[in-house]
Amino acid sequence: MSNTTVTNDIITQLEQITAPWGCDEIFVLTDTHTKEICLPKLHKLDKIKNSHHITIPAGDANKGIKSLKTIWQYLSENGATRKSVLINVGGGMITDIGGFAAATFKRGIEHINISTTLLGAVDAATGGKTGINFLGLKNEIGAFAPAKAVLIDINFFRTLDSKNIRSGFAEMIKHALISSKKDWNETLQFNLEEIDFVELERLLIRNIEIKEAIVEADPRETGVRKSLNLGHTFAHAMESWSYTSGSPVLHGYAVAWGLVCEAYLSFIKLGFPKDELLKLKYFVRENYGTYDCGCNDHDKLLKLMKHDKKNESKEINFTLLSDVGEIAINQTAKKEEIIECFDFLAS
């Protein structure tokens, strides 16, 4: 049963969700951006306005031990108990770290995710994954801890710039690829230059349906849920490397480039259709540009890929496709094949 609600009246929805709870204290987590832009909209509800507020610096680079300690310390020093609730207001960074803080504080308190970005709504806010970055590795520490409820108000997305809309849309491309040709073709028709928020909401609801069906079938990621990792083995390496290079990239841009790489790997290993591969490559090139990766970076990226948490042995683990909607999990590749994917992305 879905615990996700897409709404145009988030105050009423939040009131209905929290009213029957016997929670003793409400804590609201924001980052420096959502505190300024989004939190005032929630202050129409007195129980939010009068709650405890925790703010950490914005940006995925701050999704680490330092920020986690700040949250834990505030909860502890301000009387949080196992009957308290933490409401995470933000994008994927906030719902990831907030969910993990809630999952671990006093061995677990309830949390609600209010997703304020398209990326957070379609990716991090749903599905129950929480975590932090550690030692330069993306989401290296974490836990499965589903939110009590996930609320998504499409109006928050109107505050996003074009890059952040595109970042979220990359995860929607992924969901379409693992779903069906109907979803895939409809997704490619969306105009990222002129955003139709009504159509975006329709596609978002469909994406949540796709993801929640997969998560319900495999909540602990032992089988079909691994399909949601499509594109991410390459993407997490590129994203992690960008942090060290001084030019950090948005998660969704890395995912878009990772999808191209893993679709090409699917093409050379499983016969993924060339026409679908080229449609993806051209769509990504037009809307996301390409990844600046030289030959000197290959070994560093491969090293990061070997540390990916999805690996179950010394082999690098991939989710690949034999066709749109036809998933092959637990795939591996030779070093030369992986480098060929980077070359295809850059070509």
**Which CA distances in Å does 125 have to 9, 134, 138, 284, 296?**
18, 20, 17, 24, 36
Token duo for residue 29: 């987590």
Q: Are strands 326-331 and 318-323 parallel, antiparallel or unpaired?
A: antiparallel
Quick check: helix, strand or coil at residue 202?
helix
- Asked whether this chain's domains 4-159 and 162-346 adopt the same fold, the reply is no
Query: Which one, of 140, 133, 54, lies nearest residue 89 by Cα?
Result: 54
Instruction: Please enumerate in sequence order all residues whose Cβ is within 8 A of that of 153, keeping only pairs 6 or more positions apart, or say none.
Output: 6, 7, 8, 9, 10, 114, 116
Q: How far is CA 114 from the centre of its chain?
A: 14
State in words which class domain 162-346 has: mainly alpha
Domain layout of the chain by residue ranges: 4-159, 162-346
Predicted confidence at residue 309, as pLDDT, reads 61
**d(C-alpha 147, C-alpha 222), whole Å:** 20
Quick check: helix, strand or coil at residue 18?
helix
Per-residue burial over 302-320, b = 16 or more CB atoms within 10 Å of its CB, e = otherwise: eebbebbebeeeeebbbbb
Query: Which one, of 214, 12, 62, 39, lies nearest residue 126 by Cα?
Result: 214
* Residue matched to tokens 């300024």: 36
For the chain, 347 residues long, give each residue's pLDDT as a single digit of tens: 568 999 989 999 998 888 777 678 999 999 999 999 999 999 999 999 999 999 999 998 899 999 999 999 999 999 999 999 999 999 999 999 999 999 999 999 999 999 999 999 998 778 889 999 999 888 899 999 999 999 999 999 999 999 999 999 999 999 999 999 999 999 999 999 999 999 999 999 999 999 999 999 999 889 999 999 999 999 999 998 888 877 889 999 999 999 999 999 999 999 999 999 999 999 999 999 988 776 778 888 998 898 766 666 678 999 999 999 999 999 999 999 999 999 999 98
**Which CA distances in Å does 43 have to 48, 49, 243?**
6, 5, 35
Token duo for residue 336: 């030369």
Predicted confidence at residue 125, as pLDDT, reads 74
Domain 4-159 adopts which CATH fold? Rossmann fold (3.40.50)
**d(C-alpha 123, C-alpha 145), whole Å:** 15
Q: Are strands 4-7 and 52-56 parallel, antiparallel or unpaired?
A: unpaired
Name the pTM for this structure: 0.90
Query: Which one, of 309, 330, 341, lies nearest residue 227 by Cα?
Result: 330
Helices of type H across the chain: 10-18, 32-37, 39-42, 46-49, 65-77, 92-104, 118-119, 162-179, 181-188, 197-217, 232-245, 251-270, 274-288, 298-306, 335-346
DSSP 137: E
